[in-house]
Amino acid sequence: MIRLFIALLALLAFPAAAQPAADLEHTRISIAAETSTPAPGQPLSLIITLSPKDGWHNYWSNPGDAGAPTRLEWTLPEGTPAPAEPRYPVPETLLVSGLMNHVYAHPNALVAEVTPPAGLTPGTSFPISVKIDWLVCSDQQCVPEFATLTLPLTIGDGAADAAASAAFAKAREALPKPVDWKIRHKTEGDRFILAMPFANPGDVKAAHFFPDRDGIIDYAAPQTVTVIGDELRIETTAASMPDLAAPLTGLIRIDRQAGETLGFTFTAEPGAVPAAGTPLAASGSGGSDGEAADWSGLLPILGLAILGGLVLNIMPCVFPILSLKALSLAKGNVEAPKARADALAYAAGVILVTTALGGLVLGLRAAGSEIGWAFQLQDPRVIGFLLLLVTAIALNLAGLFEINLTTGNLGSSVTARGDAVGSFATGALAAFIATPCTGPFMAGALGAALVLPPVAGLLVFAGLGFGLALPFLLIGFVPALRRRLPKPGAWMNRLRAILSVPMFLTALALAWVLGRQAGVDGMAIGLLGAVLLGLFLWWLGARQHGGSSTWLPTGAALAATVAAVLLIPVGTTPSATAAPTEVAGSLDARPYTPEALAALRAEGQPVFLYMTADWCITCKVNEKGALGSATVAQAFKTKGIKVLEGDWTRPNPAISAWLAEHKRAGIPVYAYYAPDGSERELPQILSESDLTSLAT
């Protein structure tokens, strides 16, 4: 759980002046008593009203995946018993970047009770003071705020103030009602199920279960609500280590079709629950709008995915393909309909592959596997296949043989098939070889895709593909952009040869990754396959230039290279025992384990944790740049920041579990654990200032 604590900042700040109300930057807060003349020995009701400004929210007693509850510290006259915990109104749900928050985005009142000592005489001054700490957040940031509020009361007859009656009635109406219904809960595998009786359940529009403590459910997982007779049944994902063998307490929010919102607090006993019944018209993990709350945050997440896909176009293994596809539209003054058809076919190939890979990830996670984006790169056979594929593309760009990436044609004998098939295949190819790359905007988007409803999650992965295809779509559909492309000429052959260089470098990097994954023997087999493929393609090119048939040798080349890939050993994990990387050595990094992280945090040590992999291009750029800086190493050493490295080159259940807990679909991820117990995540593209600021 991500917990945001405010104690340190509260201690450093100056307290607000004592008063019954305070208007802070993001919240207005006030305290009121039901009577200004409380009776001795009789409970006195108080309400503390927090009114967050537009776009901000505060938190319920159990804030969910992030946030902090409101804290009260009372100063009361001598002899006054300490008040019980305040009662909170029924909360709402807010899903932000894959994190489920239990919040109030509108004025909300906590109800508390103070009992003056029985021996006080009328006319005695009875001042009440309370220091209040709370967290107020927007979608982009969180700010701790606090105030000290006072009420100058006088002991009297306890008669309610007429001016306060409406506010107290409204506050009590917003509180959940305690019920003693026969509510049961159970777990089946990783599923948590709750069943409760409810009058006229067919009138329920949406329902949501709020446990009042951690360790019961995965807060961000969808909650499926069904009706069985006169009961409501709620099913969701149980917490990773649920403690469900005893009664549990919590709150259920019910939204009725007529627009009324109800809340009930209850105790549920372990017991039998019925099978799933008829779904509600709008069930899910949302608050007052059922699944709509899950979908309400889809647009910004989809926008991040599109931006992330757009950034992938500048990666060294994608940019050459995009460049040649773009220049193909300048060749021969392509007509507008054909340009649009090419662009649509290319986009279809890209979106199909990213959506299919995303669907595979979602399906495997639903089956219990803790995997993320680019999980297939943890298999050295996939790295071997990519090595051969990139080698073939590099040799093609260098002019050794012809499989025209601009049209998809194999030589001149299949030109009748047209450009659309080749454009589709090229788009699929670009999407597949882009999977080792992770850029800005992608982490939150893909992490959220894993906890959204399946259809919404697939839309996020499709959005990633749309972003990757967007530049070519614009060129295909905007004639002005096509007219700005350079005119065709001999220079295109030179450019094509130049673009082969980043592909050769990518092949070299993949060979290195293969060695890290499968050892020297695995790398040797991969390089042997690349050499065999190169020889076949050289022979193929010679046949093409001579005008002979090229299909048979192409098939032989494919068979030989596939055999080489299948021979790569997959049973060893040399990366787990390999010597530390240069960055790990300079930062004195230790391998990540949950036990190592827990021990350092228990000692109050500042910890920098980074999740990386040899096949992650963005990870390696950061490690050669900001993470490899001597300035950063010295700053960490001076501050005493301990460094843990999580190497996800090969499957690692501990790292997979950490990523799942933090709602991240892939790497890199950089996290800093401060000595005060707080945790924050750093950007995926690091700068020296991002890291040295941790040491200030």
547-590 pLDDT, tens digit per residue, is 554 455 555 555 555 555 555 555 444 444 444 555 666 788 89
Q: Is the pLDDT of residue 14 over 90?
A: no
pLDDT digits (tens, 9 = 90+) for 180-195: 889 999 988 888 999 9
pLDDT at residue 659, rounded to an integer: 79
> What percent of the chain has a predicted confidence (pLDDT) above 90?
28
Q: Which range among 1-10, 152-161, 246-255, 301-310 shows the weakest confidence by mean pLDDT?
A: 1-10
Of these ranges, 100-114, 294-308, 455-469, the one predicted with the greatest mean pLDDT is: 100-114
Q: Confirm whether 567 is domain-assigned.
A: no
Pair (526, 648) in one structural domain: no
How many Cβ atoms sit within 10 Å of the Cβ of residue 585?
A: 11
- Closest by Cα among 263, 237, 214 to 65: 214
User: What's the distance, Cα to Cα, between the start and end of the chain in Å?
Assistant: 26
Q: Is the pLDDT of residue 530 over 90?
A: no
Q: Confirm whether 552 is domain-assigned.
A: no
Contact 626, 612 (CB under 8 A): no
Q: Confirm whether 479 is domain-assigned.
A: yes
Pair (57, 119) in one structural domain: yes
Q: Is the pLDDT of residue 472 over 80?
A: yes
Q: Is the pLDDT of residue 57 over 90?
A: yes
- Give me the residues paired with residue 29 across strands: 22, 50
Q: Which range among 12-16, 128-132, 358-362 shows the weakest confidence by mean pLDDT?
A: 12-16
Average pLDDT, the chain: 79
Pair (469, 610) in one structural domain: no
Burial status of residue 77 (CB atoms within 10 A of its CB: 0-12, 13-18, 19 or more):
middle
**Structure tokens of 491?**
């220079």
Pair (93, 123) in one structural domain: yes
Residues 6+ apart with CB under 8 A from 109: 47, 48, 49, 50, 89, 167, 170, 171, 174
Pair (398, 515) in one structural domain: yes
The distance between the two most distant Cα atoms of the chain, rounded to a whole number of Å, is 113
Pair (236, 348) in one structural domain: no
pLDDT at residue 77, rounded to an integer: 93
Pair (464, 529) in one structural domain: yes
Structural domain ending residue among the three candidates 484, 503, 534: 534
- Residue with the two structure tokens 């505060």: 58
Which has more confidence, 393 or 174?
A: 174
Q: Is the pLDDT of residue 488 over 80?
A: no
Q: Is the pLDDT of residue 370 over 60?
A: no
- Residue 164's CATH number: 2.60.40.1250
Q: Confirm whether 351 is domain-assigned.
A: yes
Upstream peptide bond of 38 is cis (omega within 30 degrees of 0): no
Pair (306, 444) in one structural domain: yes
Structural domain ending residue among the three candidates 174, 197, 213: 174
Pair (109, 152) in one structural domain: yes
pLDDT at residue 579, rounded to an integer: 46
Residue-level length of the chain: 696
Overall number of domains in the chain:
4
Q: Which range among 10-24, 99-113, 384-398, 562-576 shows the weakest confidence by mean pLDDT?
A: 562-576
Residues 6+ apart with CB under 8 A from 59: 67, 68, 69, 70, 91, 101, 102, 103, 104, 134, 135
Query: What is the phi-psi region of residue 109: left when phi exceeds 0, alpha when psi lies from -120 to 50, beta otherwise?
Result: beta
pLDDT at residue 193, rounded to an integer: 92
| CA geometry: angle 314, 614, 652, nearest 5 deg | 125
**Structural domain containing residue 672:** 575-695
pLDDT at residue 148, rounded to an integer: 94
Q: Confirm whether 71 is domain-assigned.
A: yes
Quickly state the pLDDT bin for 385 (edges 50, 70, 90). confident
Q: Confirm whether 346 is domain-assigned.
A: yes
In this prediction, residues 349-368 reach a mean pLDDT of: 76
pLDDT at residue 42, rounded to an integer: 93
Q: Which helix (H) or strand (E) holds 420?
A: helix 419-433
Pair (285, 382) in one structural domain: no
In degrees and rounded to multiples of 5, residue 106 shows phi and psi of: -145, 170
- Residue 212's CATH number: 2.60.40
Q: Confirm whether 314 is domain-assigned.
A: yes
CA distance 149 to 29: 9
Which has more confidence, 521 or 224?
A: 224
Structural domain ending residue among the three candidates 137, 152, 174: 174
Pair (263, 302) in one structural domain: no
pLDDT at residue 384, rounded to an integer: 79
Specify the amino acid at residue 376: Q
Pair (370, 511) in one structural domain: yes
Q: Confirm whether 566 is domain-assigned.
A: no
> What percent of the chain has a predicted confidence (pLDDT) above 70?
77
Q: Is the pLDDT of residue 536 over 90?
A: no
3-state helix, strand, coil split of the chain in percent (to 5) is 40, 25, 35
